[in-house]
Amino acid sequence: MVKKYVFGDPIDTGAVIGDISPCTEELCLLTQEKDEEGRLRFLLSLDDSDIVYGLGEAPRGINKRGHIYESFNSDDPYHTEEKRSLYGSHNFLIISGKSCFGLFVDTGASVTFDIGYTDYDRLVICPSENDLVIYTIEGESPLDIVKQLRKITGSSYIAPRWAFGFQQSRWSYFTADDVRRVAEGYRKNDIPLDAVYLDIDYMEGYKDFTVSEERFPEFKSFVSEMRDMGIRLVPIIDAGVKIEDGYDIYEEGKEKGFFCRRKDGSFFAAGVWPGRTHFPDFLDPEAREWFGSKYKVLLDAGIEGFWNDMNEPAMFYTDEGISEAAEYLKSFDFSCNDPNKFFELSGTAGGLNNRRKDYAAIYHNIKGRSVCHSRVHNLYGFNMTRAASEAFEKLSPDRRVLIFSRSSYIGMHRFGGIWTGDNQSWWSHILLNIKMMPSLNMCGFLYSGADIGGFGTNCTRDLLLRWLAFGIFTPLMRDHSAFGTRAQECYSFGDTAAFKGLISLRYRLIPYLYSEYMKACLHDDMMIKPLGFEFSDDEMARRTEDQLLIGESIMVAPIYEQNAAGRYVYLPEDMRLIIFKNASVERSELLSKGIHYLHAALDEVPVFIRKGKLLPLFRAVQCTDELDTSEPELLSYNSEPCSYLLYEDDGISKAADLPENYRTLSI
Ligand code: MIG
């Protein structure tokens, strides 16, 4: 049961669709009070047995207890354990233990969640403003609560099936020839591939919706040349629009007043890749429609997918920040001999990016009212992606378009997927990827994944292999790396056999993964679940942070430590362990409920098949165009009869036109 509680005069975030009448009785699941400054806060006593699930793309565990988090969309590539905010804000929690209910704190402003950090027995929610809506969701299980949240926030975006293929990215492939080399690198080594990403350097001067004539001549025919190889190109779109006389997007936006403003009504400017830019006011439906319509030029060139970046929005500097720093430097006493002053100096000169002060100086046009950005910060990326998605409804009414975003908020899951932003080539970030996936699923972000191999810093062969071995099970399986880092394509580390084996296994699994993904989309369910969602009476399962259920048939226990021969794994029930190598079954073993040591070499992928379930595998192919589901190989726990319902469709028609097409596979 969902109850809505309204505080003050909140701005509609767009997360919840349909009318829910506010509850007239007092909020009783939480204690409500005001602090000395008159700010509302909400408290809850936690029982020892309570697990707190949720927060989507947040640092740390599947169980969020024992730390403090802040929902404030932040560009933070170097996220370590102590960080409180990342690229998306997903203010949804499930308390599961002595009690069982969910909370959705609906506001575009920042919110702090102290989940047993100050006091292990207490949850304290501190919104940064008193205008907000809280939804409480009572249900019989965490999954039931997730489904109820999805009912009020809407069903998840459905990606095309080709987006389940393996995808290669880098900042940047600078020229068409660079892209050709990547395509050939994969095809030559028989490593399957479905897409290559175009990062900011495909553009002319980093101007959105332009393509460099010099580096990507005859773009349209290049797109089809790649398409003939079974490869799609996926260009990036940045939030900031370059300020440049004569650039049509800038000129139009300026003329129509579609950019964010300062308090005095002038257009707000910030420095990003193109230099000084204006930010489109995505919270204004007309501006949204205008920006969305611009994707057409790339769709017309044959492009079928996009990634929206820098939409927290990220800012490198503002005019205000620079003049403040310049003033500060002018009056700085370099002879002061005070270390604290020197720290302040480096903070002032080096801390020009993403200043809260600059965010607070941005104003949006919301229904004719000028609204300070701080009140809606977490909705910006959401609405950029909404702009694209709503435009695709018109520009591509029959065919799905791939779209995913860096920044997000609950509700955006109706419009696109997400990737989890900049990470590093660190072993700890494989683990973070593992923990985020089920949390994102809870909030409706089903099409998601991390930069495999790590974005920043240098990747090693073993890290990439172990990361791919987990990435096989995430809908978005994309290798991406930053400018200046070591090459990270699967053919860049010498012998390619292991890479070919892992990625071919992914393709053998795509029909299963896609089927489980589509069932989750169509039935407001989760594709990737923590063990505790299914084995709720099993304390070990509830406390397992590094194993996941992928769809109905399998559990995975990824290896995320360097030089490890394997790992310990907890089986909440008897299962069959399958070790895949070169995309086929290398060995298989029945294991009983309990703890086991799992051995797996770098070129091996362990998968656990659940009792009574079937895992269908299909022929390995080079790209999703070639997928053929006619002759499945069926793997099962034992030889007792069982069946699997395989969902299939053409992979491209929109959901409304999809006949629910199931095929029963059985032994
Ligand atoms: O300031 O476009 O997260 O994936 O490669 C960096 C360059 C801007 C951040 C994205 C990353 C992308 C990079 N972008």
The sign of the CA dihedral 441, 444, 445, 446 is positive
User: Across residues 476-501, what is the average pLDDT?
Assistant: 98
| Cα–Cα dist 602/457, whole Å | 21
First to last CA, the chain: 40
> Residue 658 has what pLDDT?
72
Mutate to test the pocket of ligand 1, among 236, 317, 406, 451 (most ligand atoms within 8 A of CB): 236
Distance 236 CA to ligand 1 centre (A): 9
Q: Describe the crossing of helices 248-256 and 285-293 by its angle, rounded to 10 degrees.
A: 160
Q: How far is the CA of 476 from the centre of ligand 1 (A)?
A: 17
Q: What is the pLDDT of residue 656?
A: 66
Over residues 63-92, mean pLDDT: 97
Give yes or no for residue 421 CB within 6 A of ligand 1: yes
Rounded CA Rg of the chain = 25
Look up residue 518 and give its two tokens.
């589509």
Q: What is the pLDDT of the chain when averaged over all its residues? A: 97
Ligand 1 pocket residue status of 194, Cβ below 6 Å: no
Residue of 308, 310, 407, 408 with the most ligand 1 atoms within 8 Å of its CB, for mutation = 310
Q: Which two structure tokens, joined as six digits, stand for 257?
A: 């007043």
How far is ligand 1, taken at its centre, from the CA of residue 531, in Å? 33
Contact between residue 30 and residue 103 where contact means Cβ atoms under 8 Å apart: yes
Say if strands 111-115 and 67-71 run parallel, antiparallel, or are unpaired.
antiparallel
Is residue 73 pLDDT above 90, yes or no?
A: yes
State the closest ligand 1 atom to the C-alpha of 316, by its place in the atom list counted from 1: 1
pLDDT tens-digit series, residues 334-391: 999 999 999 999 999 889 999 999 999 999 999 999 999 999 999 999 999 999 999 9
Nearest Cα residue to atom 2 of ligand 1: 200
How far, in Å, from the CA of 455 to the mean position of ligand 1? 9
Return the best residue to mutate from 199, 208, 408, 457 for the ligand 1 pocket (most ligand atoms within 8 A of CB): 199
The ligand 1 atom nearest the CA atom of 482: 5
614 CA distance to ligand 1 centroid (A)? 40
**Segment 603-626, tens digit of pLDDT:** 999 999 999 999 999 999 999 999
DSSP 155: P
The DSSP result for 381-437, as a single string, is HHHHHHHHHHHHHHHSSSB--EEEESSEETTGGGT-EEE----BS-HHHHHHHHHHH
Q: Cα separations (Å) of 271 from 161, 277, 362?
A: 37, 6, 14
Evaluate if residue 52 carries a pLDDT over 90: yes
pLDDT of residue 349: 87
Specify the amino acid at residue 126. Answer: C
Whether ligand 1 lies within 6 angstroms of the CB of 206 is answered as no
Look at residue 267 in the predicted model and tell me its pLDDT.
98
Percent of the chain with pLDDT over 70: 99
Q: With 90 as the cut, is the pLDDT of residue 18 above it?
A: no
Q: Measured from the CA of 272, which atom of ligand 1 is nearest?
A: 1
What number is the average pLDDT over the span 478-498? 98
Residue 663, CA atoms < 13 Å, CB-side half-sphere? 12
Least confident of 323-337, 432-446, 575-589: 323-337
**Ligand 1 pocket member 199 (CB < 6 A):** yes
What pLDDT shows up at residue 341? Answer: 93
Which protein residue's CA is at the shortest distance from atom 8 of ligand 1?
310
Could you give the CA distance from residue 635 to residue 586 in angstroms, rounded to a whole number?
Answer: 13
Please give the number of the atom of ligand 1 that sits closest to the Cα of 451: 4
Question: Measured in angstroms, how far is the CA atom of residue 406 from the centroid of ligand 1?
Answer: 9
**Ligand 1 neighbourhood includes 414 CB (under 6 angstroms):** no
Choosing from 169, 202, 234, 309 the residue with most ligand 1 atoms within 8 A of its CB, the one to mutate for a pocket test is 309
Instruction: For 399-457, write each residue's pLDDT tens digit.
Output: 999 999 999 999 999 999 999 999 999 999 999 999 999 999 999 999 999 999 999 99
* pLDDT tens per residue across span 432-446: 999 999 999 999 999
What pLDDT is recorded for position 500? 98
Whose CA is closest to 103, among 52, 34, 39, 156?
52
Which ligand 1 atom lies nearest to the CA of residue 238? Answer: 2
pTM: 0.98
Please, which pLDDT band fits residue 657 given cuts at 50, 70 and 90?
low
Mutate which of 208, 422, 424, 451 for ligand 1 pocket (most atoms within 8 A of beta carbon):
422
422 lines ligand 1 (CB under 6 A): yes
Does residue 90 register a pLDDT over 80? yes
Ligand 1 close to Cβ of residue 171 (< 6 A): yes
Give the nearest ligand 1 atom to 172 CA: 5
Residue of 198, 212, 286, 210 whose CA lies nearest to 249: 210
Beta bridge partners of 609: 554, 576
Q: Which residues pair with 305 in a beta bridge?
A: 402
pLDDT of residue 8 exceeding 80, the answer is yes
Q: How far is CA 101 from CA 7, 29, 180, 188, in A?
A: 20, 9, 52, 53
Which atom of ligand 1 lies closest to the CA of 171? 5
Looking at the chain, the whole-number percentage of residues with pLDDT higher than 90 is 98
Tell how far the Cα of 74 is from the centroid of ligand 1, in angstroms.
13
Q: Sheet containing 111-115: give its strands across.
A: 31-34, 40-45, 122-127, 111-115, 67-71
Ligand 1 center–CA 309 separation, angstroms: 7
Distances in Å between the alpha carbon of 622 and those of 145, 165, 225, 478?
40, 9, 16, 16
Alpha-carbon dihedral sign for residues 639, 644, 648, 651: negative
**Which two structure tokens, joined as six digits, stand for 653?**
């028609």
- In sequence order, the β-bridge partners of residue 569 are 596
Q: What is the DSSP string of 446-469?
A: -SEE-EET-SBS---HHHHHHHHH
Residue whose CA lies nearest to ligand 1 atom number 5:
171
In a 13 Å sphere around the CA of 112, the CA atoms on its Cβ side amount to 14
- Alpha carbon of 481 to ligand 1 centroid (Å): 9
